[in-house]
Structure 1
Amino acid sequence: MKTYFKIITVLMLALATLSSCKHGFVELNTDPNGTPNALPQQLLAPALVNTVSTNMLRNRNFNNELMQVTVDPGDGEGKVFRYDIKRTWADYTWNNWYTQLTNFKDIYNVASQPLTYSKTYMGISLICQSWVYAMLTDTYGDVPYSQSNMGKEGNFTPIFDQQKDIYLDIFKKLETADTLLIGAGNVSASSDPVYNGNAAKWRQFGNSLYLRLLMRLSGKAEISATCIAKIKEIVDTNPGAYPIMNSNADAAILRWTGVGALTSPFIGGVREQDFRAVGITEFFINNLSRWADPRLTPGNRFSIATYQGSFVGVPSGYSPGQILAIKSYFLSTTSATTLMNEPLMGNIMNYSELQFILAEAAAKGWIAGDARTYYNNGTLSGITLWVPAFNTPIETYLAAADISWSNTATLDQKMELIHAQKYYSMFGTDFEQWFEYRRTGHPVLPKGAGLVNNGIMPARLYYPVYVQSSNPDNYKAAVASQGADEISTQVWWQKP
């Protein structure tokens, strides 16, 4: 029995402590896509599909509960909408993200070899690695980075790099990716379910992702000036060297076609009755109703059921013991387009989010652009992504909704305007709503009496429990450096 345990432990660590025995261990550690003989064009699509699928499933049952999109009613333990986070929540994203990092790294390694050399696949790999590592460190804090995914090299106990060092190296990866993709040729369309092999669009996404991550660190005192200067360089002083998204057509979205592997993870992964068993919150639905937002119109693509003829939400964070009836909910039929098979739910980063990043930068005086224009563009593109036929002038829509930009508003009021709209532009997108709320405190969410964790939004997820036994020395070093392995411990960029 002791021998068996040692074997399992070694195998788990082979992919940077990827999985516990009861979470698909054999499948994770014999990943058919990550073989040494696979080519980049064989690895990219499965890695993208599996990463986005992981993000969608956890967005639905974790991010949406924390960020008052939905409420999974009940009085049992582990109700995320009350900030009651079980330690087992940590495993799923940790395991799957690190698994796909093996594939993304293999793409780079194979594409850098003489016989299979491809600057395009190398650049795409670095962008995808940056995207996944950013999600890991924003979720957990200090994580294995410089030594992760090195089981083939015999390193089964990777160190946990500090978040600052991870971010600085991510920035280097994105700079390298931008350089590699200058004039790079397109690759096989069938290998790339996001951009159909278009190298220029990958370059635009990489630099837009760069802006997202620079903004995330912009409030950290020791690095703020550097981040702000880089944002200005990308947007103002050297935009030709850093092309970014120009429209919804440039959005990084893995669009589900319903054919083969490009079938939404909600199909088969979530039962229809479970999909509609969570209520939409008052916060989420009341804003859309008050604004007369076209995404809420019956028959449009948010696919929300009415309750007694109206859109009615339920409160989040309510106290245990209350009887709560679900009212409006997301429709779940697969016989028509609902969120269960909606192509746009494979969102990685869209043009609307980018416009709100620029609106914030302009409102703070970091770039020369007009904050009102960026805000208006962000709101309009957020709507037209889902409702292409929307043709009301955006100023007319904003005035009727009483959410027009005002240059005389306070900075905090401007941030609330921007981030309320950004919240909806990031609908369905991994943990981005949660990350941005932790960074900014916007949009302001109502707090119910049933919240635990002192009513404070969780700042991170726990490390997987099995990491404590499989990599104890480096786990302890990480905790000593970062702080207690608790959801209340802030990650580096959250601290002043």
Structure 2
Amino acid sequence: MKKYIYIIGCAAVMFSTVLTSCKKNFEEINTDPNSTEHALPQQLLAPALVNTLSANLSRNRNFNNELMQVTVDINDAEGKVFRYDYRSSWSDYLYTAWYSRLTDFKALYATATDTLTYNQSFQGISLICQSWVYSLITDTYGDVPYFKSNMAKDSAISYPPFDRQKDIYFDIFKQLEKANELLKANVSIPGGSDPVYGGNVGKWRKFGNSLYLRLLLRLSGKAEVADTCIKKIKEIVDVNTTQYPIMANNDESAILRWTGAGPLVSPLLNVREQDFRSPGVASFFIDHLAAWNDPRIDIPTYGANGYNRWALVPYSGMFKGVPSGYAPGENPQKMSYFNSYVSTLSAPSLMNDPMTGMILNYPEVCFILAEAAAKGWISGAADQYYNNGAMNSITQWVPKFTGPITTWLAAADIQWIESETLDQKMEKIHLQKYYALFLTDMQQWFEYRRTGHPVLPKGNGLKNNGIMPARMTYPVFVQSANPSNYKAAVAAQGADLISTQVWWQKP
């Protein structure tokens, strides 16, 4: 018996020794030396951008393009967007996608402010991206959760209140000011982490200030804030240009170029080929390009292997479109359409074009400046901004085009004429801007709602009294998941209908 007690005692001492040894340096020996327990800012930026643009491109293709007469999904069924026949199910996807991405961009900011991973540039980039996404949300829905959104994890705020669009916009302006200051220090970031500018912090700063111009212009027609916005536009463009650098050429456009490597694969490749080429191109979109002999669809001169850059397929040797808004039973024939991806790559397609990741491009900035100059808000000649915008809108897609742009515009009968009325000038600016905004999320729709330009023909089958929808309705799940705050938002903004204007649209 004594022998057994001795053996058990020895075993207990040995186990205790082993246990002590196992505890010693436990964290050190169980930590992967090739990784980190903290997420790094450079790991967060690219996925957030890719996922945001995936959502943007999806709804650009099947919502914005249908409303703005780029395409017509030919069908007599109900719920067709090109007839302004809106179904509530359209509301959920973007709302969910954008707020999810805001969580990612806020995580980027939090990580970039952490002591171990502190980086001013990533902070500034995060604020720009948050401002961009929040502007998309409020321009689409109106009053939305802002100040207390995306706080469920850290602050247990699962039912955020809806904030007024005016308050949202002016806080966005504060965030863009802060981002501009943060990026001024030009702290380096890894180039491989940045699929937009390859780590060029100076270009991010220019993008942030160009976004600032876009949003200031959007509010410039709202009487109660017009003077403030116009004054700030002038400060950025004329008075304090060193403090507020903006885009100056196409190379500075904010475009996520799809390389096809890793995560940088165009989301349009997820669309079935037959579905991608199913909608016909709308007459409004294609007729202007054909009449102008636009280089973006000029096959013999600029096309690679006989095809044009926008991959438009002609009909019987000509570019012809389908009238939008037609009434059920009119049965128009599909003509030109956007070519789908083919595995042999014998023909180009927007499905795999690296340029479709549009965020904000330089031609848009040119047309912002053209409008501001035409209205007398800034110095500089409006015609020069207009010509520059038209030229860069083309060369962004067709670098071989050399102009001169004034000759091309005159031949197309869309040259700048100083003696024309402001409304005529606005029509010219916004017709060209319409093409510059091609593939840029919902910006064509936003700008049309702001200005009424370019003038779109109206078919006999339009719903909503033939009036362009002013917003998306709130998702159904918001009504049930956050009912009190939803009701308060509707009481403040107006009925939850597509005809209810958002704040900046109202007189």
Q: Provide the rounded CA distance (Å) in 2 between the counterparts of 1:234 and 1:323.
A: 50
SS at match of 2:313: coil
Which of 419, 426, 429 pairs up with 2:430? 419
Residues 71-128 of structure 1: per-residue CA shift (max 9 Å, x gap): 0011111100000010010011000000000010011111112211100000000000
Aligned counterpart in structure 1 of residue 404 of structure 2, from 383, 390, 393? 393
Deviations 1:140-165 (A, max 9, x none): 00000001001112110000000000
Alpha-carbon separation, structure 1, partners of 2:222 and 2:167? 14
Equivalent runs, 1:283-302 vs 2, <5 Å: 283-298=284-299, 299-302=307-310
* 3-state secondary structure, aligned to 2:453: coil
Q: CA deviation at 1:404?
A: 0.6
1:261 corresponds in structure 2 to: 263
Q: Take 1:285 and 1:276, find their aligned partners in 2: how far apart are those partners?
A: 15
Displacement after TM superposition at 1:36 (Å): 9.3
| Counterpart code for 1:306 | P
Question: Is residue 2:365 matched to residue 1:354?
Answer: yes
CA RMSD of aligned residues (A): 1.0
Tell me the equivalent position of 2:274: 273
* Equivalent in the alignment of 1:214: 216
- Retained in 1: the 8 A contact 2:282–2:323? yes
- Distance, in Å, in 2 between the alignment partners of 1:392 and 1:243 is 27
Instruction: Give the whole-Å Cα distance in 2 for the aligned partners of 1:328 and 1:244.
Output: 37
Match of 2:24 in 1: none
Q: Does 1:115 align with 2:116?
A: yes
Aligned to 1:463, the other structure's residue is in SS state: coil
Instruction: Give the superposition deviation at 1:482.
Output: 0.2
Residue in structure 1 matched with residue 62 of structure 2 by the alignment: 61
1:332 correspondence with 2:343: no
Structure 2 CA distance for aligned equivalents of residues 337 and 346 of structure 1: 16
The aligned residue for residue 282 of structure 1 is 283
Work out whether 1:341 is the aligned partner of 2:367.
Answer: no
Partner of 1:468: 479
Deviation at 1:333, TM superposition (A): 2.4
Distance (whole Å) between structure 1 residues aligned to residue 102 and residue 452 of structure 2: 31
Aligned letter for 2:189? V
- Per-residue CA deviation, residues 259-305 of structure 1 (Å, 9 max, x unaligned), is 121110011x2001111000001100010011111001232211100
Preserved CA contact (<8 Å) 1:300 1:387: no
Deviations 1:390-413 (A, max 9, x none): 012011001100011011000000
User: Does 2:319 match 1:308?
Assistant: no
**Secondary structure, in 3 states, of the residue corresponding to 1:155?**
coil
Contact 1:279 1:314 (8 Å CA) reproduced? yes
Which residue of structure 2 lines up, in the alignment, with residue 156 of structure 1? 158
Residue type at the aligned position of 1:285? I
Between the aligned partners of 1:438 and 1:41, the Cα distance in structure 2 is 37
- Equivalents in 2 of 1:404, 1:229: separation in Å? 29
Sequence identity, in percent? Answer: 65
Unpaired runs of 5+ in structure 1? 1-34
Which residue is equivalent to 1:317? 325
2:461 aligned with 1:450, yes or no?
A: yes
CA distance in 2, matches of 1:186, 1:94: 33
Q: Which residue of 2 aligns with 1:4?
A: none
Please say if residues 62 and 80 of structure 1, whose CA atoms lie closer than 8 Å, have aligned partners that are also in contact: yes
Whole-Å Cα distance in 2 between the matches of residues 394 and 480 of structure 1?
A: 50
**Aligned ranges 1:358-437 → 2 under 5 Å:** 358-437=369-448
Taking the aligned partners of 1:36 and 1:324, their CA distance within structure 2 comes to 60
Question: For the residues of structure 1 that align with 2:58 and 2:244, how far apart are their CA atoms?
Answer: 32
Tell me the equivalent position of 1:128: 129
Q: Which residue of 1 aligns with 2:202?
A: 200
SS in 2 for 1:327: coil
SS at match of 1:348: strand
Q: What SS class does the counterpart of residue 78 from structure 1 fall into?
A: coil
Q: Does structure 1 residue 189 correspond to structure 2 residue 200?
A: no
Query: 1:325 Cα shift?
Result: 1.9
Q: Which amino acid aligns with 1:164?
A: K
**What is the rounded CA distance, in whole Å, between the counterparts of 1:365 and 1:196 in structure 2?**
37
On the 8 A contact 1:70/1:279 being kept in 2, the answer is yes
Q: Using the alignment, how far apart are the partners of 1:189 and 1:97 within structure 2?
A: 25
Contact 2:391 2:403 in 1 (8 A): no
Quote the Cα distance in structure 2 between the aligned partners of 1:207 and 1:103: 22
Alignment correspondent of 2:177: 175
Secondary structure of the corresponding residue to residue 263 of structure 1: coil
Scaled by the length of structure 2, the TM-score of the pair is 0.90
Unaligned runs of 5+ in 2: 1-35, 300-306
**Contact 2:339–2:348 (CA under 8 A) maintained in structure 1:** no
Change (3 A) 1:36 1:460: farther
Cα distance in structure 2, aligned partners of 1:392 and 1:66? 32
Shift of 1:236: 0.2
- Specify the code of the residue in structure 1 equivalent to 2:133: V
For 2:62, the aligned partner's letter is N
